[in-house]
Amino acid sequence: MLQIRNLDSLASSDLTWLKAKHHFALDGYNNAAHAPLGSLIVLNDDEVAPGTGFPMHGHRDMEIVTYVREGLLEHVDNSGGRGQISAGNVQAFSAGSGIRHSETNPGSVPLKLFQIWLRPRRLGIAPRWSTKPFPKAERANRWIVLASGMPDDKQAIAIEADARVLGATISSGQSLDYQIGGSRYVYLVVARGTVLVNGLRLDARDGIAVKDVSKIIVAAIGDAEVVLVDAV
């Protein structure tokens, strides 16, 4: 199964300060055709206006990975975590037994990001937060694991889920393969540019759900930037 979820088909919300597109059915933004993929239950495409953001609020027992596409994200939480994440970089946290945090845009331009929620494999763990820079030059025409619950992915931010989040920039005319293990799911979203996934066209901010497929080939039409989630 290869199911394109193009931008126009996504449920959306507009709170003036926040404009969001929902790649998966979520609360009041349900779209039955856009079901979760295993432990992957949320991928939101958010735009946050300058000087605004999500005030202090809580989460439990969820793994949350944020990929900043444009602008600057400021994170503050009640465990002492604090940091600013710029475009192309990633933050991840395990909400575990409970964490409260805020996410705001301290800059003068809109903050654009993908936020990914994964069900954890263990409940009630101690909360933790981390961020890490991933220079785009390091992922030129190759996959880089950004966040992962796999023991071999030692350079990635650790998450408590049987999943990994990868990123790549692909030069015009180049392509990348990705092998998919049995019983696993993949969701790919385009951060920038246009790609073909097994021959199917995706433009910027489109996504594609992959199930019961052993390999995808991602070919760039013009320079492109993609994020891929591999989950069970």
Single-letter amino acid, residue 230: D
The verdict on whether residue 101 carries a ligand-binding annotation is yes
- The angle at the Cα of 209, spanning 30 to 70, to the nearest 5 degrees, equals 80
What angle is formed at CA 229 by the lines to CA 62 and CA 36, rounded to 5 degrees?
A: 60
Residues written for the chain: 232
74 is in an annotated binding site: no
Does the annotation place 59 within a ligand binding site? yes
- Residue 134, token pair as written in the block: 């991933």
SS3 content of the chain, % helix, strand, coil (to 5): 5, 55, 40
Strand partners, 65: 92, 116
Q: Which residue has the tokens 């989950």?
A: 231
Beta bridge partners of 207: 5, 189
Residue type, 127: P
| DSSP letter for each residue of 172-190 | TT-EEEEE--TT-EEEEEE
Residue 48 and residue 55: Cα distance in Å, rounded?
12
Read off the DSSP letter of residue 125.
P
Strand 157-158 and strand 144-148: pairing? parallel
Question: Is 23 one of the annotated binding-site residues?
Answer: no
Feature table: binding site: 57, 59, 101, 103
Binding region for Fe cation? 57, 59, 101, 103
